[in-house]
């Protein structure tokens, strides 16, 4: 058994990593969309 605080820290850490990767994915998607629009013109 590990203390509750440790597991909570791990949970918040993975949550932060998750939001960061989602943010990066969103930025990549936006760049990709911009690139497609540029190709069409």
The token duo for 12 is 């918040």
Q: Is the predicted pLDDT of residue 22 greater than 70, yes or no?
A: yes
Q: What angle do CA 10, 11, 16 make, to 5 degrees?
A: 100
SS3 41: coil
Looking up tokens 């497609």, which residue turns up? 36
Residue 4 vs residue 25, higher pLDDT: 25
pTM for this entry? 0.51
Q: CA–CA separation, 33 vs 25, rounded Å?
A: 12
Can you tell me the distance from the alpha carbon of 31 to that of 40, in angstroms, rounded to the nearest whole number?
14
- Whether the pLDDT of residue 12 is over 80: the answer is yes
Reported as a pLDDT band with limits 50, 70 and 90, residue 14 is confident
């Amino acid at each position: 058994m590990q203390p509750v605080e440790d597991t909570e820290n791990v949970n918040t850490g993975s949550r932060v990593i998750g939001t960061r990767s989602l943010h990066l994915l969103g930025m990549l998607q936006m760049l990709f969309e911009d690139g497609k629009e540029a190709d069409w013109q």
